[in-house]
Every structure is written in structure tokens, then in C-alpha cells.
Amino acid sequence: MVLGTTSGAGKSWLTTALCRYYSNLGLRVAPFKAQNMSNNARVVSGPGGRLGEIGSAQYFQALASRAEPEVRMNPLLLKPEADTHSQVVLMGQVSAELTAMPWRGRSEKVWPHIAAALDALRAENDVVVIEGAGSPAEINLHASDIVNMRVARHADARCLLVTDIDRGGAFAHLYGTWALLPEDERALIKGFVLNKFRGHASLLAPAPQMLQELTGVATVATIPMQWHHGLPEEDGVFDDRTLSAGAVHTTVAVIAYPRISNLDEFQPLKNVPGVRLLWARSPAELGGLKPSDWVVLPGSKSTAADLFWLRAQGLDGAIARHAGQGGSVLGVCGGLQMLGEALIDTAGIDGNAPGLGLLPLVTTFEVAKTVQRTQAQFGAMHGAWEALAGAPVTGYEIHHGQTAQHPAMAAKGDVAREVIPGIAWQNPAGNVLGVYLHGLFEDPAVLQALFGRAGAAPVPTLDAVFEGLARMAEASFAPGTLSALIVPAFPGG
């Protein structure tokens, strides 16, 4: 199990690396995270063939494991809709009952599902690599914990504790976390890991030895800082230092509103030569765009609230000016809904709001949630997005909203071009496109259509990323450590 002293310490990265490392040994491997809080989700297999949602991190960890992603790998997913409220997804499906329950009252309700999912994965695999959440030493949450040490105790997991040394205070974080754990839980910590180190490892002495004398736990790995590891970020936008090198021919400005979701789907654009990703939060950041540049409205877990935020920043005007000058605008899922004329919510799902009016569409929110994988093909396209005409696309849909042509506007002759039935629409001028399909830029056919040979085979491929992570982990750990962590799973060797 990979635990962290804080969020962002490197748990997801290290878990993914270990999944591929152990898979490369010929072992059957599966990832597991009892509870994930993220608006980045993927559509995967569930019980009885029913599709469901899990966190994107566990989806990529499953791919690194060479395993089919499924809901048992992340049985509980919390999707924040406000600072004090999250939609609860249990075993891939939205649970209105759990969503309405207080945080602490939820734990005992969901624990049997978590334990059953973990036990099943352990029975079916040689190695299960478990990821913790936040810190295991949040003593205000320890009594209702279902994601860190309760999972570790249940599985008798051999735990690594990872910290971000680039933040400073790494040894204090490691010692403080260890010290706050009860004695029986401290015994499960088998190694400390220093992540994001910049410098020569010899500079760390004598701290690792002193820490071991205090705790009895060795520092088993020092992992160097990596700006270009290629793995999609689970939470937060990408660091500008990971942008593609070389001459920039297209800037893709993604509006980074507070409830942005599924931002990991833009990762492939970072690997296309000449494309620059810009995370925009103010009109000034859109001011220098050329008509050939893109403005992207990504998915949102709270479309009406993010639309209100967008207007409060003055970004609505900046987007309208870019579109008015013939600039390319793309809306994905919640972004598509924002591009329309209105959001109508009589069921209390998201909220009512006027749209940006760049597509003559109206969205109605429904209690039933669309969760599905989708294969389709763009129809006749024109204008800025003409290159997509006839392109096959594969992706996934996760949305409560249902979008259609605005009837009154259609009566006046203002009709959106429906380029994929029920999924994608284009404005008459051809420069504004809205799609419900997530994962568009993970589709090689789409990258080929938009960027030609430069986008046909993004480098590195996802599989190459996993291999690079595994090599980095193997090189960073003390010899024999990674093998020793799984020996107890194989009595007698």
C-alpha cells in the first residue's frame, strides 16, 4: 500500500509505477483505492455488465497493470459539487441515499462494499497495489477512516509512506505522520519514500539514518523530480514546464473553472509538437489568441456554478470576442452545455442559468445519469473543424444534462448543425463546436485529423509512460525492496 504524508505527495504516481513494475514480473496485478475524491472519472465495467464510474487515477493504474479497469478498483468515488458537498458514487453508480448522508455516518454503510471489493481483487490477483488518500494521520478522521489504515489493517498490507521533499519539511512530515499513528498501525509502515528530490542524494545525510533511529523505518527510495513523466494529473492543472518544446503553431486555452472535471483528457495535446496548453482564468490570458488558436470549455461537475464564475471573471465576453473574430471554440460535456442558450433544471440537479449563446441549444438536467462508452463518426463538418469530417471517434459520456435544438430559435431559422446525433453540434459559421464525448484527444484518429502526422502518434505513448515510471521506481528503490514487499503474499517463496 502506498500512503502519503499529504495530498500531492506522489501516491498516484508511485502506485501506477509499481503496478507496471510488478506486472512486468509476469504477475497478475490490480490497483485499488477504497475512496477517491475527484471530478476526473472514467467509464468502466461493473457488476452484471453494467457500466460505472471510477477515478481516472485507478483507470490508468489498471492499464499500467495490464488489467481491465472495473468498478471494484475504486468502489467509492466522491465527485465534489461544492466546497461542502459531493455526489457519492458507490460501485460505479450514483447513490442518492449516500449523497444525502453526513460524512461520518457514511463510513459503516460503505465499508462492507469496500472490503468485499478488496477481498475479491486479492483472491483473483497475485499482487494488489493499494493507494491511500490524503494522509493516514488525519486524527480528526481516524475513527471513521475507510481509505487508509483501516484498509491497511484489513489487508495486512505492507505500507510505503511517501512525501514530497520539494515542498520542504519532508522529514518532519514523515516522522509526524508515523508518530501520530497507533502502535499497531506503525508496524505496517515498511519504508519511507522521498519524492520529487532535486539534488544529490548524499546531501540528505544524516537525516535518513536519524529518522530510522527514531522510528525503526528505513528510507527505501529517493525519487528524483520529474517534470515530464507523461502521466495525466489526477487533480489540478498541468504544470507549464511540461509543455511541448519547439515552435508553437496552436495555443489551446482551456478555461480552468473551479469545478473543472476530466481535465486529464487533454494530456495527449501536451505531446503533440507545436501545441501549447494554456490554463486560462482571466480575460487577459485569452487576449493574445489568434483565430487559429482554440478556446476550450472543458467538463464541469457544477455547470451552472462554473458558468456563474466564468461570467464573474469577464471570461464570457473574452470567449464571445474570440468566437466573433472567427476563433475556434470547443465545448466538452459541461462546456457544451454552457455554449447553448439556457440550462434548465427542474429536478434540482445542477441549477438554472442562461448560457453563453454561441450555439442555439438548450440543456435540461435529468435525475438519470448517462454513463456510457461511445463510438461514433463525425458527419459533414465545415469551417474551423472541417478536418474532423468523417472521422471515427471513441470516448465516454458522463452527464445528467440532455441537450437539444432550441425550438423557438429553430423556428426563426437559427439551427445548430448536428454533426453526431445527440452528441455533437456545430454553429452555422463553423468555428464553434460542442460535444458530449470525453476522451476526444485520446483518440488517434482525431489527433491525426486535427494535426496530421504530428498528432498521429503522440510521444510518449501511454504504454511507454508506464514503462518509464516502472524503470524510475526500480532505479530509485534500494535493491531487493520491491521484491521484499510482496514476498509475504507467496508463502514458501
What is the DSSP code string of 57-119? HHHHHHHHTT---BGGGSSEEEEEEETTEEEEEETTEE-HHHHHS-HHHHHHHHHHHHHHHHH
Residue 122 has pLDDT above 70, yes or no: yes
Is 343 in contact with 307 (CB distance < 8 Å)? yes
Residues of the chain with pLDDT > 70: what percent? 93
- Tens digits of residue pLDDT in 292-324: 999 999 999 999 999 999 999 999 999 999 999
Cell 515530464, residue located: 228
- Residues 436-455, mean pLDDT to the nearest whole number: 83
- Tens digits of residue pLDDT in 83-108: 667 899 999 999 889 988 887 788 89
Distance, CA of 42 to CA of 62 (rounded, Å): 12
Is 300 in contact with 87 (CB distance < 8 Å)? no
Give me the sheet containing 361-377, strands edge to edge. 353-354, 342-344, 361-377, 392-405
Task: Indicate if the alpha-carbon torsion angle 118, 196, 439, 451 is positive or negative.
Answer: negative
Cell of 160: 510505503
- Residues 342-368, mean pLDDT to the nearest whole number: 95
Residues of the chain with pLDDT > 90: what percent? 73
- Calculate helix-pair angle for 315-324, 303-312, nearest 10 degrees: 90
Residue 241 has pLDDT above 70, yes or no: no
Distance, CA of 319 to CA of 288 (rounded, Å): 12
**What pLDDT is attached to residue 329?**
97
19 in active site:
no
- Residues 390-394, mean pLDDT to the nearest whole number: 93
200 in active site:
no
- Give 100's contacts (C-beta < 8 A, 6+ positions apart): none
Residue of higher predicted confidence among 77 and 231: 77
Is 345 in contact with 337 (CB distance < 8 Å)? no
Residue 193 phi, psi dihedral angles, 5° rounding: -130, 125
**What pLDDT is attached to residue 453?**
56
Residue of higher predicted confidence among 242 and 39: 39
Task: Indicate if the alpha-carbon torsion angle 375, 380, 385, 387 is positive or negative.
Answer: positive
Is 470 in contact with 21 (CB distance < 8 Å)? yes
- Most confident segment among 150-154, 225-229, 247-251: 150-154
**What pLDDT is attached to residue 263?**
86
Task: Indicate if the alpha-carbon torsion angle 114, 117, 118, 119 is positive or negative.
Answer: positive
Residue 456 has pLDDT above 90, yes or no: no
Residue 247 has pLDDT above 60, yes or no: yes
pLDDT band with cut points at 50, 70 and 90 for residue 230: low
- Residues 97-124, mean pLDDT to the nearest whole number: 92
Q: Which of 173, 333, 399, 406 is catalytic?
A: 333
Is 289 in contact with 329 (CB distance < 8 Å)? no
**What pLDDT is attached to residue 103?**
75
- Residues 19-34, mean pLDDT to the nearest whole number: 97
Residue 335 has pLDDT above 60, yes or no: yes
pLDDT band with cut points at 50, 70 and 90 for residue 242: very low
Q: What is the CB neighbour count within 10 angstroms for residue 382?
A: 14
pLDDT band with cut points at 50, 70 and 90 for residue 452: confident
Mean residue pLDDT across the chain: 90
Residue 385 has pLDDT above 50, yes or no: yes
Say whether 240-456 and 2-229+464-489 share the same fold: yes
Residue 236 has pLDDT above 60, yes or no: no
Residue 492 has pLDDT above 70, yes or no: no
Tell me which DSSP letter residue 478 carries: P
Of 81-85, 215-219, 248-252, the poorest mean pLDDT is in 81-85
- Residues 410-437, mean pLDDT to the nearest whole number: 94
**What pLDDT is attached to residue 284?**
94
Distance, CA of 341 to CA of 354 (rounded, Å): 6
Distance, CA of 324 to CA of 339 (rounded, Å): 14
Best CA proximity match to 195, nearest among 62, 20, 57, 17: 17
Which CATH fold would you assign to the domain 240-456?
A: Rossmann fold (3.40.50)
Q: Which amino acid is at 261?
A: S
Task: State the Rg of the chain over Cα.
Answer: 23
Tell me which DSSP letter residue 477 carries: B
- Residues 204-227, mean pLDDT to the nearest whole number: 92
Helix (H) or strand (E) holding 306, with range, is helix 303-312
Residue 233 has pLDDT above 70, yes or no: no
Coil, strand or helix at 364? strand
Residue of higher predicted confidence among 226 and 335: 335
How far from 182 is each of 100, 139, 155, 412, CA to CA, in Å?
32, 10, 17, 70
Is 370 in contact with 397 (CB distance < 8 Å)? yes
Task: Count Cα neighbours of 47 within 13 Å in the Cβ-side half-sphere.
Answer: 10
Distance, CA of 28 to CA of 9 (rounded, Å): 27
Residue of higher predicted confidence among 25 and 49: 25
- Residues 8-18, mean pLDDT to the nearest whole number: 94
Residue 235 has pLDDT above 70, yes or no: no
Q: Which of 173, 322, 399, 438 is catalytic?
A: 438
Distance, CA of 46 to CA of 283 (rounded, Å): 42
Q: Which amino acid is at 41?
A: A
Coil, strand or helix at 155? helix
Domain coordinates of the chain in residue numbers?
Answer: 2-229+464-489, 240-456
User: Parallel, antiparallel, or unpaired: how do β-strands 2-4 and 159-164 relate?
Assistant: parallel
CATH of domain 2-229+464-489: 3.40.50.300
